[in-house]
């Protein structure tokens, strides 16, 4: 009986020691280490839209336009909210982008005009970090594990909104309707094969909008803008051939109010999603 009591006391002491160790986690130090990881990672935590090509123009109602986003500045420091629970952590990243949306327009019967529209965007990304080492390791053992999509919305006016995105090919079908709560592994991401022919469909609330895909290229002009066809009822569709060179890349799905492009007094009105993806040969 005495032996049982002694074992019980030892077990209780061990449990108390484990609980005590758990309580000693330095959560604030963990948060600081994760914020430093975010600060150093300019590949994933950089939500500007100034990487916009100026290739191609369009015409509507006899008004020819050529448009682009100019260089952008950002908040002096982005918002980085961190929550820690044991060896898991989540990050909510927010940032404002400031710049101008430029339209070179030739309205019917008028001279060439340049419309410079103030651009203010609020972008957001969520991420999950895991502690894969221990607190004595670099950055206290934390590592980026999963990423959501980036979302962006104009602050000046925001009447347009992307509701969902569908990417399909003979190899896959991906539908995303909640971009900030849809997570992909940071190492594997969404994967396409080199040259894969993809059909991209945007479902939106903008029955009178303009939609585009901005995709990074490995050769000049580095960023390419692909217009989507207006299928009616706020649905826009385009065909995209995935890049050939295996690498990590991103694509921006860009929705604009028609007046942003074709009306001199139409404010910058934008909704966008950014998807990280990887090009990798099929196994």
Q: What is the pTM of this model?
A: 0.85
Contact 277, 251 (CB under 8 A): yes
Contact 201, 192 (CB under 8 A): no
Which is more confident, 1 or 252?
252
Contact 38, 77 (CB under 8 A): no
pLDDT tier at 259, thresholds 50, 70, 90? very high
Confidence (pLDDT) at 212: 95
Most confident residue range from 43-52, 66-75, 77-86, 211-220: 77-86
How far is residue 127's CA from residue 82's CA, in Å, rounded to a whole number? 10
Q: What is the pLDDT of residues 161-199, one digit of tens each?
A: 999 999 999 999 999 999 999 999 998 889 999 999 999
Q: What is the pLDDT of residues 54-68, one digit of tens each?
A: 445 565 667 899 999
Please, how many CA atoms are within 13 Å of residue 138, restricted to the half-sphere of its CB?
A: 2
How far is residue 79's CA from residue 82's CA, in Å, rounded to a whole number? 10
Relative to beta strand 142-147, strand 150-154 is: unpaired
pLDDT tier at 218, thresholds 50, 70, 90? very low
């Amino acid at each position: 009986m005495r032996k049982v009591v002694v074992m019980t006391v030892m077990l209780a002491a061990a449990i108390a020691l484990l609980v005590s160790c758990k309580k000693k986690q330095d959560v604030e130090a963990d948060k600081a280490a994760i914020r430093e990881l975010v600060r150093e990672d300019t590949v994933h935590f950089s939500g500007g839209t100034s990487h916009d090509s100026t290739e191609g123009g369009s015409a509507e109602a006899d008004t020819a336009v050529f448009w682009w986003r100019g260089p952008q500045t950002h908040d002096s420091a982005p918002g980085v909210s961190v929550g820690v629970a044991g060896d898991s952590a989540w990050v909510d990243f927010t940032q404002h982008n400031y710049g101008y949306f430029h339209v070179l327009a030739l309205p019917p019967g008028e001279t060439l005009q340049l419309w410079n529209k103030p651009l203010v965007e609020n972008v957001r990304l969520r991420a999950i970090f895991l502690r894969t080492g221990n607190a004595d390791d670099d950055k206290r053992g934390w590592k980026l594990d999963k990423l959501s999509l980036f979302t962006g919305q104009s602050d000046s006016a925001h009447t347009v909104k992307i509701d969902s995105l569908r990417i399909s090919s003979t190899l896959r079908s991906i539908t995303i309707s909640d971009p900030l709560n849809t997570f992909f592994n940071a190492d594997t991401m969404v994967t396409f094969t080199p040259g894969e022919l993809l059909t991209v469909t945007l479902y939106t609330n903008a029955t009178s909008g303009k939609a585009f895909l901005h995709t990074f290229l490995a050769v000049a002009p580095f960023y390419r803008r692909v217009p989507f066809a207006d299928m009616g009822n706020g649905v826009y569709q385009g065909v995209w051939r995935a890049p050939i060179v295996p690498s990590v890349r991103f694509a921006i799905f860009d929705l604009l109010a028609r007046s942003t492009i074709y009306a001199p007094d139409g404010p910058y009105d934008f909704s966008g999603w950014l998807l990280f993806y990887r090009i990798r040969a099929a196994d």
